[in-house]
Amino acid sequence: MKRFNTKTVNFVGIDLFSGAGGMTLGARLTGINVIASVENDRHAVETYRHNNKGVDIFDKDIREYVSVPKTEETDVRLLFGGAPCQGFSTSNQRTRSASNQNNWLFAEFLRVADLWEPHWIIFENVKGIVETAKGVFLERILSEITKRGYNVVHFFLQAADFGVPQRRTRLFIVGSRAGIKVKMPHPLGSPAPTVREAISDLPLLKNGASVCRLPYRREPETEYQTQMRGGEKECTNNIVSRNLDYVVKRYCHIPQGGNWESIPNRLMHNYQDKTKCHTGIYLRLRANQASIVIGNFRKNMLIHPTQDRGLSVREAARLQSFPDSYEFKGSIGFQQQQVGNAVPPLLAKVVFESVIRSHIEATRESVARPQALDLATV
């Protein structure tokens, strides 16, 4: 993957609530030097540490994080990440409220910002944060960042508009201490890769496949596959949940784009009322379209478009835009969770590109017109 040209400016970053490292990877693809991260899930930490050598990772509760790294005076500091988003998800109606303590972890993000005083703040989360508790969370976040002297903008980005083979909308909040108004990234203007275009070269697998490292099925067939392979000769994480026989029997009744509604009633004996299933349960992906959201794909039992099994961890990672060199650690359940929770790296990349571009353009303008920007804050 080609890096964005950061010229002579040294951008350094800290990733909070980093998970497996989707945002860190997006930042590194733009040339940002990620120097630290905070994550307390030990399985995600194992994955992050394996793929991000040299980053100082704090693997305890963020409330204990008090020693932020020192930087050079000329460094441009970026603090980014997103508090756990399950409490804001539209699929979570049980704890989607102000009483869910996890929904208030963004206060720790702001606390670290007070400690480190970054030039840029980039906060991401799910679209549902706007709808939770009548929008109080979004209003609070925008207000708190603004009170700290940042010029704040926020926007929603659809991953499929930026080369990710998945329809996934994320909220990004970007604040500049120098008063720079970052521009919202413009969609690429070309269709996102389809599921087939994203994964057709990956190994053929069966229900319960457990051999992690395998050679590719065939030579890359699309530009996206070539990009994701990055010269690798084989790929890891080719593992699939082992579903019980009665579950696998349901799969053959579901066409591409279909879901639980296509399964005969006689095969749904363990559902007291199958009408309570949401539309994402037992959904078979369409080969000729971008994927639906890769969230909890094991629990939802997302089905491979042409094979009667669930998605492998590597297939889900491809649909999230993780390169094949990025290896996930832990048991299969933890790997699936890490992939589903991640921010698509290619989506994060366009946000960081926009921030870097805005910063460099503003700096150039300040040189031409010194009164245009207070350089002491850049």
Q: For the chain, what are the domain ranges? A: 11-188+345-377
Flag whether pLDDT at 1 surpasses 60.
no
* Per-residue pLDDT tens digits for 15-58: 999 999 999 999 999 999 999 999 999 999 999 999 999 999 99
Average pLDDT score, the chain: 90
What's the CA gap between 366 and 170, in Å, rounded?
Answer: 32
Q: Are strands 169-176 and 120-126 parallel, antiparallel or unpaired?
A: antiparallel
Active site members: 85
Average pLDDT over residues 133-138: 76
Contact 68, 116 (CB under 8 A): yes
Q: pLDDT > 90: what percent of the chain? A: 76
Homologous superfamily of 11-188+345-377 = Vaccinia Virus protein VP39 (3.40.50.150)
| Residue 289 burial (CB count, 10 A) | 18
Distance (Å, whole) CA 135 – CA 124: 15
Q: Which residues contact 22 (CB under 8 A, 6 or more apart)?
A: 320, 322, 342, 343, 344, 345, 348
Rounded CA-CA distance 120/68 in Å is 15
pLDDT band at 146 (very low <50, low <70, confident <90, very high): very high
- pTM exceeds 0.85, yes or no: yes
Provide the 3-class DSSP secondary structure of residue 267.
Answer: helix
3-class SS of residue 93: coil
